[in-house]
Amino acid sequence: MTDRYAVLGHPIGHSKSPLIHSLFAQATAQDIVYTAIEPALDGFADAVRAFRDSGGRGINVTLPFKLQAFEIASAPSERARLAGAANCLRFGDGGLIEADNFDGVGLVRDLQHNLAAPLAGKRVLLLGAGGATRGALLPITAEQPQLLAVANRTADKAHALRRDFAAHAALQTSGYAELAGQSFDVVINATSSGLSQDTLPLPDGLFAPGALAYEMVYGKGLTPFLRQAQAAGVQRVADGVGMLVEQAAEAFQWWRGMRPDTAAALQRLTVPLV
């Protein structure tokens, strides 16, 4: 019997998830149908229940519903609980709704596996203190970097993360100006500045020799952050397409019990960084 999955977001027309999951299903010979659903902004919970009650097995969740996805869950993972957000739900018997957040593990998998940038012993900087950073903190910490720093335009939001994650990680948190004099091996832009084409006020010398600059936004070519990095001499730059594909692979494995190879999806979705 064909199993049904979907991605829910608003808007959803841009989503690459149906394509990614159909490639995974073909490659693994899984009999699934994966669609895109755009609930009204105040209609997320109703849409989830309707999809589940009609036989749906699980959903991915994108903006702006990740917080609501966490709230609707009866069994959230530790990762989702700490992030306060979920990007994946799985429906079980008796109304069970399990929730997880695969964005951070997708990021780490992309960095270490696809981009050959190990995090152990490295100085890692996350720019931004929103949901994407929240989701990344635990998976990055698990790789035992020498330092994990979070800098945000609104410094108080970064400091709040330090408090929330105190039991799991010793974060260095600040605004951007306080980064002066420090350098990092991996710098990840987890702000939405790539969407608005804004340039972040980053101090000189932020990128250590051989550093990787990673932009979570994908499909936009060279964003202002990646241009900044290149202007500072950084040769290794990447966008978030691999994070997107790898989080999808984690979801597919959680739902179907097998991990798809991600190379074909990555190749299909990669937009040259020019």
Nearest distance in Å: CB 158, ligand NAP: 8
Residues in the chain: 274
Nearest distance in Å: CB 186, ligand NAP: 15
- Measured from the CB atom, is 132 or 229 closer to ligand NAP? 132
Task: Kindly write down the DSSP assignment for every residue of 70-106, as one continuous string.
Answer: HHH-SEE-HHHHHHT--SEEEE-GGG-EEEE--HHHH
Nearest one of 100, 158, 163 to 126, comparing CA atoms: 158
- Measured from the CB atom, is 10 or 49 closer to ligand NAP? 10
Residue pointed to by tokens 């500072």 = 232
> Nearest-CB residue to ligand NAP?
130
CA distance 250 to 246: 6
Nearest one of 257, 242, 264, 260 to 24, comparing CA atoms: 260
- Measured from the CB atom, is 5 or 218 closer to ligand NAP? 218
Strand order in the sheet with 58-61: 32-37, 3-8, 58-61, 88-91, 97-100, 75-76
Nearest one of 270, 274, 209 to 244, comparing CA atoms: 270
Contacts with 31 (C-beta within 8 Å, 6 or more apart), sequence order: 1, 2, 3, 25
- Measured from the CB atom, is 52 or 152 closer to ligand NAP? 152
Residue pointed to by tokens 């994650």 = 165
CA distance 160 to 230: 31
CA distance 247 to 66: 14
Q: Which residues bind ligand NAP (CB under 6 A)?
A: 103, 128-133, 152-154, 157, 190-196, 198, 200, 216-218, 240, 243-244, 247
Nearest distance in Å: CB 249, ligand NAP: 12
Catalytic residue, candidates 16, 66, 122, 220 = 66
Does 122 qualify as catalytic in the annotation?
A: no
Nearest distance in Å: CB 122, ligand NAP: 20
- Measured from the CB atom, is 64 or 92 closer to ligand NAP? 64
- Token pair belonging to 141: 């910490």
Residue 237: strand, helix, or coil: strand
Query: Which residue type does 231 have?
Result: A
Nearest distance in Å: CB 223, ligand NAP: 10
Nearest distance in Å: CB 130, ligand NAP: 2
- Measured from the CB atom, is 118 or 130 closer to ligand NAP? 130
Cis peptide before 209 (omega within 30 of 0): no
Q: Which residues are catalytic?
A: 66
